[in-house]
């Protein structure tokens, strides 16, 4: 369907957005609750761990740097179709106080 706002995002791009607390319902734009965001963040971490063989917890910046620098994964993570919009949003989320609040919650009560 194409994820509204991100277009033809790749799976890794979607995982990272979800790790940042984004709710990526195709075409959707409804505001999400904390519980919903925490849930997708957990699922995203599991999927990223499964796909990469690494685990950086809920540390979005660590995952971001890892994927950018991994020869095998960088291509999919920076895939051109949606990368511009994805990168812009990831950059925003890295310092987003609300996401950092959710990350702290997950680290305190995993």
Partner 1 sequence: MGILDNVGGFAKQAGDGIAHAAENTSKVVSDAWNTAVEDAKAGANAVATSVRDADAKKQQIGAWIDSKEQQLEHKVDEGRAWLRQNGGVAGQVASAQIGLVEGVATSVYGAGKGLVQLADGVTSLTNPLEWAANPDANIARLKSAGHTVEALGKIANLAQPTSWITDPKGNAQLAGTLWDSAATSFNKDPAKFVGNAAGTVGMFFIPGGQGAAVADTGRAATVLNDVGKVADVAKLADVGKSAETASTAGRLGGLAEDAGTAGRVAARATEDVAASTIARGEPFAFGVGDRSARATAIIDRSAQALGRNAASLVDNVVYDASAGSPSFWVDRATGLRTVTLDAATFGKTEAGQLVAGTHELVHAEQWEQVLSSHAGNLATAHSAMFKTSRLDYAIREVVTERRAVQAVDSLLGGVAPQQVGHSTRYIESWQRRVMALGGGRVP
Q: Which residues bind partner 1 (CB under 8 A)?
A: 1-8, 10-12, 25-28, 47, 50-51, 75-76, 79-82, 84-85, 88
Give the 3-state DSSP-derived string for 13-68, with helices as H, strands as E and coil as C.
Answer: HHHHHHHCCCCCCCCCCCCCCHHHHHHHHHHHHHHHHHHHCCCCCCCHHHHHHHHH
* Smallest separation, CB 31 to partner 1 (Å): 16
Q: Are 54 and 31 in contact (CB under 8 A)?
A: no
Please, which residue, 29 or 109, has the CB nearer to partner 1?
29
CB of 81 to partner 1, least distance (A): 6
Q: Which is nearer to partner 1, 27 or 101 (CB)?
A: 27
Contact 66, 52 (CB under 8 A): yes
Least distance in angstroms from the C-beta of 85 to partner 1: 3
User: Minimum distance from CB of 65 to partner 1 (Å)?
Assistant: 20
Return the residue matching tokens 């895939």: 79
2 vs 69 by CB, closer to partner 1: 2
């Amino acid at each position: 369907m194409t994820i509204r706002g991100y277009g033809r995002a790749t799976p890794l791009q979607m995982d990272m957005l979800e790790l940042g607390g984004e709710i990526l319902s195709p075409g959707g734009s409804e505001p999400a609750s904390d519980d919903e965001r925490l849930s997708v963040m957990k699922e995203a971490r599991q999927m990223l761990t499964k796909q990469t063989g690494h685990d950086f917890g809920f540390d979005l910046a660590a995952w971001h740097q890892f994927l950018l620098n991994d020869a095998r994964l960088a291509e999919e993570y920076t895939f051109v179709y949606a990368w511009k919009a994805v990168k812009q949003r990831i950059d925003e989320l890295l310092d987003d106080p609300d996401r950092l609040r959710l990350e702290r919650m997950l680290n305190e009560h995993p």
